[in-house]
């Protein structure tokens, strides 16, 4: 199972997130929330996961079908409530290339079944314990 580890020191709220595969991402809060604005907020990271997964999944599918997809963009907007919980995600998929309307519609359906999309639509059990 892949592991990600978040570490925060005394500086509010800059968090270094490292993966067991050797990558690092910064998370933070905006200045007006007491953070240093040096990384994406947790809500932005959630939306970024969806955007990245859609892009990768659609690209893989188009390559497998040998469709002429030259570029794609998945723009994800999100809403949060007053408790900072993400309550809505909206994605706009922009496809470039000499694609037929049928291919475009199929790629839209593929975007809707990427692993992160499916995960966010289902209940995921979370276990939190002291280590």
Which has the closest alpha carbon to 94: 78, 122, 75? 75
Which has the closest alpha carbon to 56: 43, 40, 69, 38? 69
Q: What is the per-residue pLDDT for 119?
A: 96
Q: What is the per-residue pLDDT for 75?
A: 98
Q: Are residues 9 and 46 in the same domain?
A: no
In contact, 107 and 93? CB cutoff 8 Å: yes
DSSP assignment, residue 42?
H
Does the reported pTM lie above 0.85? yes
Q: What is the per-residue pLDDT for 6?
A: 98
Where in the sequence is the domain holding 23, given as residue range(s)?
1-39
- What confidence tier does 84 reach under pLDDT thresholds 50, 70, 90? confident
Query: Is residue 57 situated within a structural domain?
Result: yes
pLDDT(94) > 90: yes
Query: Is residue 76 situated within a structural domain?
Result: yes
Q: What is the per-residue pLDDT for 90?
A: 97
Q: Are residues 52 and 116 in the same domain?
A: yes
In contact, 76 and 47? CB cutoff 8 Å: yes
Q: What is the per-residue pLDDT for 16?
A: 98
**Percent of the chain surpassing pLDDT 90:** 96
Calculate mean pLDDT across residues 76-97: 95
pLDDT(123) > 90: no
Q: Residue 74: give its domain's CATH number.
A: 3.30.300.20
Q: Are residues 53 and 75 in the same domain?
A: yes
Q: Are residues 46 and 34 in the same domain?
A: no
């Amino acid at each position: 199972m892949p592991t990600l580890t978040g570490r925060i020191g005394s500086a509010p709220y800059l968090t270094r997130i490292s993966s067991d595969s050797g990558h690092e991402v910064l998370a933070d809060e905006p200045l007006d929330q007491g953070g240093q604005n040096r990384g994406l907020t947790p809500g932005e990271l959630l939306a970024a996961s969806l955007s990245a997964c859609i892009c990768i999944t659609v690209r893989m599918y188009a390559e497998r079908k040998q469709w002429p997809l030259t570029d794609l963009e998945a723009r994800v907007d999100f809403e949060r409530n007053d408790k900072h919980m993400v309550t809505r995600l909206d994605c706009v998929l922009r496809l470039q290339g000499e694609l037929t309307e049928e291919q475009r519609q199929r790629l839209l359906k593929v975007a809707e079944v990427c692993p992160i999309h499916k995960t966010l639509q289902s209940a995921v059990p979370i276990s939190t314990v002291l280590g």
